[in-house]
Amino acid sequence: MSDKSNQNGAYVRKFSFRPYTGVRRGRIFRMWSISWQWWIHEWDRSRAIKILIGFQLFTLLITNIMVLTFKNPILSNEQILEDTLIPLVRGIVSFQTTIRGGQSNHDNGFGGGTFSIGGTSLFILLLAVLVGSGLIADDITNKTNEIYYAKLEKYEYIMGKFGAFFIFGNVIITLPYVLEFFLLYIGLGNMDFIAVLPVLAHVILFTELINLTYAAIILAFSSLTGRRLYAGLTTFMLLFLANMIIPSLAFAQGGEVGLQLLGDVLTLLLIGSYIIDGESIIRLDLLGREHTLNLANGIGIETWMIFGSLGLIISLGIAIVVFQVYRRHSM
């Protein structure tokens, strides 16, 4: 042994390599450790996360200032809050397709049509792909999964990884919009909290639905490809390019919108948002061609189909992760 290591040995003898006599923490703590460690590690490592959070907060602050400065005196504060926040969260998954609720014929408080920030959605997707695609793939590349499996059950590992993405999703997606809700609530003033609670519920439910969908897709590709780059590219192509290409092709060729919608994750999410809001008539404007979806007339696309399709995508994603972890990665 080197002199240095002898000195280190002396340190250990002096300060002792103590036997552990404490109580070991439970299984949930261990799963949480995976999630939290990954988040802290990504936070330390990735400048993009910090920039995006800054960008998110800046955008929301500007929105807040604009809404409060140019608010329409005809509309009630509750209406302004709703017409600002709900299009904002819908904007997270809206790149190209514009969807309006049947009865949303008033503007958002400062006279500008549908309010959505497309740029934010692209940023969020890029970042989700950037950080999430390595969640399982990096373990396969670095062979760290062997260390996890030697300490934890495989389902604990999977839950820890999903938890990791949920922390990301909640910090990047859910939390800023909840914060925006309270900023507007305080800024606009004179509102009954119970009356605007459905708006808050919508924000939380819809952003969590996005988190769950993104998590299932990104983790599925991460475990399938085993490489961060491939996982990132395939997820991005599925979520972003499919959103552009499939409706474009369908409409260019006069195809059926209904069938195409079921293959487009982001449009499904967007319609899901309207369903959470209780709207049954939805108008879609895809590449300048408007279509009406009546979700309660017993024909065409129904509510259960939208949530069924989303549920299928999420279940399929989780099933792929479980299969990969329990079978392929355990050989």
> Which residues bind to another protein, rule: CB under 8 A?
1-2, 4-5, 8-9, 11-12, 15-20, 22, 24-27, 29-30, 33-34, 37, 41, 45, 138, 142-144, 146-153, 330-331
Looking at beta carbons only, is 153 or 290 nearer to another protein?
153
Among 234, 232, 235, 258, CA closest to 247: 258
Looking at beta carbons only, is 24 or 190 nearer to another protein?
24
Looking at beta carbons only, is 28 or 316 nearer to another protein?
28
Looking at beta carbons only, is 106 or 328 nearer to another protein?
328
In 161-315 the beta strands, taken as DSSP E runs, fall at 281-286, 289-294
State the nearest-atom distance from the C-beta of 19 to another protein, in Å.
Answer: 6
Q: Output helix, strand, coil percentages for the chain, rounded to the nearest 5.
A: 75, 5, 25
How far apart CA 225 and CA 147 sit, in angstroms, is 20
Looking at beta carbons only, is 154 or 283 nearer to another protein?
154
DSSP H stretches of helix in 91-152: 118-132, 134-142, 145-151
How far apart CA 143 and CA 14 sit, in angstroms, is 35
State the nearest-atom distance from the C-beta of 43 to another protein, in Å.
Answer: 12
State the nearest-atom distance from the C-beta of 146 to another protein, in Å.
Answer: 5
Q: Which residues of 14-32 are buried (b: 16+ CB within 10 A; e: fewer)?
A: eeeeeeeeeeeeeeeebbb
How far apart CA 289 and CA 160 sit, in angstroms, is 44
State the nearest-atom distance from the C-beta of 138 to another protein, in Å.
Answer: 7
State the nearest-atom distance from the C-beta of 240 to another protein, in Å.
Answer: 27
Looking at beta carbons only, is 24 or 288 nearer to another protein?
24
State the nearest-atom distance from the C-beta of 211 to another protein, in Å.
Answer: 24
